Each structure stands twice: as C-alpha cells, then as structure tokens.
Amino acid sequence: MNFYLDNENLSFYLHHPDMEQVVAVREKNYAEAGNHPEAPADANEAVEQYDTVMRLLGDIAGDVIAPNAESVDHEGPQLVDGHIEYARGTRQNLDALVQAGLYGMTLERKYNGLNFPRVAAVMAAEIIARADVGFATIWGLQDCADTIQQFANDDLKNKYLPRIYQGATCSMDLTEPDAGSDLQSVRLKASWDEASNCWRLNGVKRFITNGDADLHLVLARSEEGTNDGRGLSYFVFDKADGGMKVRRIENKMGIKGSPTAELQFTNAPCQIVGERRLGLIKYVMSLMNGARLGVGAQSIGLCECACREAEAYAASREQFGHSIDKFVAVQDLLRQMRARTDGARSLMYETARYVDLAVSSKPASRIADILTPLVKLNASEFANRCAYDCIQVHGGSGFMKEYACERLYRDARILSIYEGTSQLQVVAAMKGIAGGAYLKQIEAYDAKVSAFDSLTDEMRRQQSLLRKATESYKRLYELVSSEGTSSERFDHSTRALTEVLSYIIMAYLLLLDSQRDNRFMDSCDFFVKEAVGEVHKHLAVYEN
C-alpha cells in the first residue's frame, strides 16, 4: 500500500499554483541547476522530484511503518543501562528511511540534503503520521537540523548536518521539572570550560521526546545570576561525547513508541549554537514554529488514518440488513471527519507555503507567523475529534483493543498539548487578532475568490455567507474588546475569536481549492456553517 499514491489530496497540494514561487525561492532561482546532479532546472522538475520522493516515502509508510505501528505500541522502548533501546519496529522504520536517503530532506545539498521546501517536509510528516503518530515524532525531530543550518556557525554545520543524512536522531531538550510552558524558568546550567574549550551542561531535563537521541539541542542558562529568558542560550550536545544519562522513561497514554525521557546532564561537553542569550528569544521561538507546523502534520496524518479506519469499518459492518455507511447518522459523522481533515490540511499547506516564502519576504513571514498557531490549534483539536468519532463509528467494537481506533484515540491526546497547548496557540494568535492581520488575510482570500472567472452559484453563495460571517466577527470583536484588550471579557473571548477566524479562513481556503477541484465544496460548506454558527452563538450572548 502506498500512503502517498492512495491519497490524491497530497498530490493536489504538491501541484498548487503557488508552488512555482515556493520552488524558485527554495532553489534560489535555480542557482545549482547544472552544477549538482540532483538540482532541478525549473519548478516542474522540482515538483516532479517531490512527487518521486513522496512515492518512495508512501511505500515505506504503507509497507513498513504502518504494519509496525501496533507492535511498537505494545512493545515500546526500554531503558537499558542508562540508555534507551527502541522497539524492534521503530528500529526497522528508521533503518528503512535512512537507507532510502530520506533523512535530511530539507537540508542543503552540500550537507547531503535534498533541499526540499517546508511544503514537502510537512507532507512527509503527514504521510508518516498516518502510519504511526508515535514514530512521526521521532522522524519530525530531525527539524532540529534546520535550526543548526539556520543559526550555527560553519564548523558546527559541517560537523553535524551530514550526520542527519546518515540517520543521526535528534531531540529538542527544553522542558524541565519547573519549566514547561514557562520556558523562561529553565535552570539547567551551562558553564564555559576554559581548559577544554567547550561549554559544560549540568542539570536535569524532563519529558524529552526521543530523549536518548544522537544529537540534542539543549536550552540552558549560560548567564549566571539571570532568571528570565534573556539568560538562556542554545547548545548542541553530541551523545557520543558522554556526560548524559537517561534517568527514566515515562509510561505514557499514547505515542508509546516515542520514548519520553528524563535526562541527567553531568559536565556534558557541548557547543553553543549562534549567540549567547538568544537561545529562547530567537532560536527556540524559530524552532517552535517549525515544531508546531510539524504537530499540525502529525495531527492531519492521524485525522486521515481515522477517516479511513471509520470509512472502511462503516462500509463493512452490517446492521438492519445494510452496511452502516448507508445510515444518515453515520454518514454525517464520516462527512464531518472528512471535512475537518480537509480544512486542516488546506490550512497547513497554505501555511507551509508561506513559511517557505518567508525566507525572502517579510510579509510572507508575518502571514506564516499568524497562520502557524491556527494550524496547531485546529489540526490537533480536530485529530482528537476525529479519533473520538472514529471510535463512535465503530460502536462497541471501537472500545475494544482489537481495532486501530483505540490506539489513535490515545495517540491523539498529546497533540493538543505538546509544542504549546491549544490555550497557548490562542495566546499566540492574539497579536494577529488585535492587529487585524487575520482580517487582512481574509480580505485577500475574498479578493482571490472574486477574481476567479467561473464561480458557480454555490461558490457565490458560500462567499456571500463568509462575507457575512466576517462582518459578524468584526461586530463580535468590537463588543468583546469594548473594555479594552486587557479586559477579562476580552480574555474570555479569545478562544472563540480564534476559532471563528480559523473556520472562516479554512472555508475560504477550501473555496479556493474548489476552483481547482470541486470535491472540496462539501468540506467548505461544513466550515461556512461552523463559522456562521460559532460567531452568532457568541454574538447572541454579547448583543443582549
């Protein structure tokens, strides 16, 4: 089974009209064409390359990773002599992906990377997550290499980046017992060792995903006497250099194949990434945005898997003389699952395109920044909802361990928590809400829809409803911010505002997608109704 070829939505976004611009930016206007045996000469060739590699990845996801998911969930990783041994299936997955040369997909060619854009990386993550979300966390952490590529000096890049291609695993060591969402409180100490000409780490990190990785990016306090984010720097630690021990691995509810560890650093030698004091305020924030998009991809992969599990079960399970997918109540569940998956996916690839364009465009960078929390918030919440509905479609059977939906339900739960909870995504969206950036983006989408030369009546109707919903949103915003954006009333409304904006944006994106393929109109209709319903629910309260 090929998890890329059997899902035509993936190719649809790989061939999005804006990809021409994305590829041109990524390929620096094809500067390497003719000078490197893999460099594409134009956008068509580049997209063909992405397609080729996604086919390969789709094979591995369908034939290796997905069949291993159940045993990996049962077996889990083990702690042996202070180090972690992956489940057998996890090791097989890693070996297949490394042998296939898929690690380091976004790295530059000089580091043995494929120089693929974020759009392709996110698609790879989605495909792998559909096979196994737990494994997708291990795979996704190679994004740490992007931070090294972006901010480290050439010595570090030359030393570490080629190892990613060879399969070196990564972890992002931020959380500590007293520093979770509040990373300014990180206490792990980094001190300069003059004699060895390196930094030394001392302290404890907790809840570290893939904690026994080969390469660690560690947030640590390099400035003695400080107690906020400005005293933190970022370090790269190589496990082979010693000084780190895994104290325990957590017994988790889901994503059991992905080891979550507590780490003890004792005089562990490491190198600083970039400049001192910029660890949290610049580098982690950059890494975090990428990680949030990554969790979006994991969530959508899980949604896709849940949709398929539910659709297949509903088509095969017979009650009252018919397969249950003939019953409207079940059809509604399946449609809603599919719509949420479509909406989150369209938003994610839109965001990924802006992340790619952000390299050479300030406005694109600002749009990427406002869309990223919406991806993380909505995709992760939808993943939970899809997993819930998947069990619902299975009925009593779904409550038994025999069906994959039980694992999906457990795996989904972390998605709206790690890399920033849903509540923190709402906080991250506030700047765009208060500053009007989301409304500006909605106006741009509306103009794009209007510019389409063959709008159907149904498309016009949805556009008109979306315009009304946007006007209602503006009224709601004015009502809840009437006492200022620091008021309690405003604070209590931020989630609702963020969700309404999200639904409007996803509906517009699906409307735009429908211009290339009409099959998205059902899902567009779902989000239009969600937007209209949600905004009027709150308006009804505040207007009276």
Partner 1 sequence: MSFNIVVLAKQVPDTHNVGADAMNADGTVNRAALPTVFNPEDLKALEMALRVKDLMKDARVTVVTMGPPRAAEIIKDAMSRGADDGFVLSDARFAGADTLATSYAISQAVRQLGKVDLIMGGRQAIDGDTAQVGPQVAEKLDLPQVTYAEELLSVDEHSITIRRRLERGTEVVKSLLPALVTVTSAAADCRFPNAHRLLRQAKMEVRMTNADSIDADMERLGLKGSPTKVKRIENVVLAHKESVVLQPTDEALNALSATLIKEHIL
Size of the site for partner 1 (CB under 8 A): 17
Contact call for residue 44 and partner 1 (CB under 8 A)? no
Q: Give whichever of 11 and 191 is closer to partner 1, judged by the CB atom.
A: 11
Contact call for residue 56 and partner 1 (CB under 8 A)? yes
Q: Hey, is 314 helix, strand or coil?
A: helix
Out of 14, 47, 102, 524, the residue judged to bind partner 1 by CB under 8 A: 102
Contact call for residue 482 and partner 1 (CB under 8 A)? no
Contact call for residue 37 and partner 1 (CB under 8 A)? yes
Contact call for residue 67 and partner 1 (CB under 8 A)? no
Q: Rounded to the nearest whole angstrom, what is the least distance from the CB of residue 56 to partner 1 in the complex?
A: 6
Left if phi > 0, otherwise alpha if psi is -120 to 50, otherwise beta: which for 514?
alpha
Q: Give whichever of 91 and 537 is closer to partner 1, judged by the CB atom.
A: 91
Out of 8, 20, 74, 99, the residue judged to bind partner 1 by CB under 8 A: 99
Other Cβ atoms within 10 Å of 45 Cβ, number:
14
C-alpha atoms less than 13 angstroms from C-alpha of 112 in its C-beta half-sphere: 18
Of 94-102, 217-225, 271-279, 463-471: span binding partner 1 (CB under 8 A)? 94-102
Of 54-62, 219-227, 330-338, 487-495: span binding partner 1 (CB under 8 A)? 54-62
Other Cβ atoms within 10 Å of 483 Cβ, number:
11
Q: Which of residues 201-260 bind partner 1 (CB under 8 A)?
A: none
φ and ψ at residue 82, rounded to 5 degrees? 80, 5
φ and ψ at residue 249, rounded to 5 degrees? -115, 145
Q: Give whichever of 116 and 490 is closer to partner 1, judged by the CB atom.
A: 116
Angle between helices 285-316 and 404-412 (to 10 degrees): 160
Out of 52, 196, 226, 487, the residue judged to bind partner 1 by CB under 8 A: 52
Q: Give whichever of 126 and 513 is closer to partner 1, judged by the CB atom.
A: 126
Q: Give whichever of 41 and 281 is closer to partner 1, judged by the CB atom.
A: 41
Contact call for residue 60 and partner 1 (CB under 8 A)? yes
Contact call for residue 100 and partner 1 (CB under 8 A)? yes
Q: Which two tokens stand for residue 461?
A: 């109707």
Contact call for residue 53 and partner 1 (CB under 8 A)? yes
Contact call for residue 101 and partner 1 (CB under 8 A)? yes
> 426 with 498: CB under 8 angstroms?
yes
Q: Which of residues 112-131 bind partner 1 (CB under 8 A)?
A: 112, 114
* Bridge partner list, 262: 248
Contact call for residue 311 and partner 1 (CB under 8 A)? no
Q: Rounded to the nearest whole angstrom, what is the least distance from the CB of residue 108 to partner 1 in the complex?
A: 13
Please list, in sequence order, all residues whose beta carbon lies within 8 angstroms of the beta carbon of residue 181, skipping any fewer than 6 positions away.
420, 421, 424
> 286 with 355: CB under 8 angstroms?
no
Q: For 513-517, which contacts have Cβ atoms below 8 Å and span 24 or more sequence positions?
A: 513/12, 513/346, 514/459, 515/449, 515/452, 515/454, 515/459, 516/12, 516/17, 517/12
The rounded distance, in Å, linking the Cα atoms of 424 and 418 is 10
Nearest to 132 by CA among 253, 254, 13, 5: 254
Contact call for residue 96 and partner 1 (CB under 8 A)? yes
What residues make contact with partner 1 under the rule CB under 8 A?
Answer: 37-38, 48-49, 52-53, 56, 59-60, 96, 99-102, 105, 112, 114
